[in-house]
Amino acid sequence: MNKILFIGALAVTSCALVTGVQAQAVRSSPPQTPAVLDYAHAKPMSLPRSNRSPTSQQAASPTAIQKLFSSRGVVPGSDSGDGKLSPIQLVPSVVLPTAGSALGGGVTSQEYGTSNHVFTTSRADAFFNTTASFYPYRAAGKLFFKVGAGTSVCSASLIKPGVIVTAAHCVANFGIGFYSNWEYVPAYSNGSAPYGTWTGLTAFVLASYLNGTDTCAVAGVVCQNDVAVIVLNKKSGALPGTRTGWLSYAYGGYSFNPAGQALITQLGYPVALDAGALMQRTDSQGFVSVADANNTIIGSLQTGGSSGGPWAVNLGLPPVLNGTGFGTDPVHNVVVGVTSWGYINTAIKEQGASPFLFTNIGVLVNAACAAYPGWC
């Protein structure tokens, strides 16, 4: 099991105090009844929509940020996946137009919506190349699951060899109960599962989300704990992380500056972009909005289906340095949030993510790893 790198003298004490007092993880009942998923007709999980006016992109009070992120830590991931393929064709591939053909060379322009929050959303795959089949991209993927009789789809990413992180609203209906039959497809690409499919063994969410008492700026939409983890079943004794590697994750504002700002890279499979067939990447400066349940907000073109996709800092392989040094918080490929919600007015083009705190992601991962240590 990877060790947590604590940042700040109070980190260990703070973590110990909150484990059972402020937050409690609740798990779905394993094993689940097997079900046939309809990959071809899976519907994007509706992105929760806020009816609030967008928050100004002004820097948050350093005092408020220091209070929110009083306990910090980062858990390193691993790029040691062997990359061994076991492709399965889930649905027929489709012919997609050449990306950015109007602009040439697959280059898209930087955009912004009525919020004036700049971002760039493009295919994760480089021009004519399957970038998504390489680490760190291949540690992210699509998440299929059953909602009633239908099949829905979200996004997710590996943060342990056999544990994925996604949004709580992709695991449970706020204040009501769990969905079922999750199936994770790492690096999904135009109908193909290059590393196979991995069924969910059990899911964990916080009790406050499941029972509908979570702290929310908009009930059930803009909440502090829209975060969940899913433990995946082994196949022939193996876990998906042995093939793809897994991402780091952190809590307590890792890579955020004292004003609550960070450069975020969002990965996901929004169905409105390339019909959800390809992984999409968005880059934008995120800021903490205290008025929005301390959520981080970025500019983004992504839509339904992107829910649960990772928000990472320092995405990519670090360079070898010569005559210079890294800055503060230099660990690469660190998940610090997951796509949670957007606005009813889609012209705003912003999305939000619950803050990663020890009281949510820390408690959830600890609960999953305590129940299934061999998966971590």
CATH number, position 364:
2.40.10.10
Q: How confident is the model at residue 21 (pLDDT cuts 50, 70, 90)?
A: very low
Q: Would the pLDDT of 314 be above 70?
A: yes
* Neighbour count for residue 320 (Cβ, 10 Å): 5
Instruction: Return the pLDDT at 87.
Output: 87
Listing DSSP states for 23-36 in one string gives --EEE--SSPPP--
Instruction: Determine, yes or no, domain membership for 12.
Output: no
Tell me how many domains the chain contains.
1
Instruction: Determine, yes or no, domain membership for 89.
Output: no
What one-character DSSP code corresponds to residue 238?
B
Instruction: Determine, yes or no, domain membership for 103.
Output: no
Distances (CA, A) of 293 to 116, 163, 214, 278, 311: 21, 26, 10, 31, 17
Instruction: Determine, yes or no, domain membership for 230.
Output: yes
Give yes or no for a contact between 307 and 168, defined as CB atoms under 8 angstroms apart. no
Q: What residue type is assigned to position 163 of the chain?
A: V
Nearest in space to 69 (alpha carbons), one of 241, 216, 260: 260
Interstrand relation of 119-123 and 280-289 (parallel, antiparallel or unpaired): antiparallel
Interstrand relation of 119-123 and 198-206 (parallel, antiparallel or unpaired): unpaired
Backbone angles phi, psi at 180, to 5 degrees: -155, 170
* Percentage of residues in the chain having pLDDT higher than 70: 89
Q: Which of 86-95, 180-189, 359-368 has the lowest mean pLDDT?
A: 86-95
Instruction: Return the pLDDT at 85.
Output: 86
Instruction: Determine, yes or no, domain membership for 341.
Output: yes
* Neighbour count for residue 348 (Cβ, 10 Å): 19
Q: What is the pLDDT of residues 241-259, one digit of tens each?
A: 999 999 999 999 999 999 9
What SS3 class is residue 228? strand
Instruction: Return the pLDDT at 18.
Output: 34
Instruction: Return the pLDDT at 360.
Output: 97
Range of the domain at 300: 23-52+63-78+110-318+330-375
Instruction: Return the pLDDT at 78.
Output: 92
What one-character DSSP code corresponds to residue 115?
T
Per-chain mean pLDDT for the chain: 88
Instruction: Determine, yes or no, domain membership for 278.
Output: yes
Please give the Cα distance from 184 to 194 (Å, whole number). 12
Instruction: Determine, yes or no, domain membership for 99.
Output: no
Q: Which of 58-72, 161-175, 324-338 has the lowest mean pLDDT?
A: 58-72
For the entire predicted model, the pTM comes to: 0.90
Q: How confident is the model at residue 17 (pLDDT cuts 50, 70, 90)?
A: very low
Q: Which of 119-133, 248-262, 279-293, 295-309 has the lowest mean pLDDT?
A: 119-133
Instruction: Determine, yes or no, domain membership for 297.
Output: yes
Give yes or no for a contact between 117 and 55, defined as CB atoms under 8 angstroms apart. no
Instruction: Return the pLDDT at 105.
Output: 40
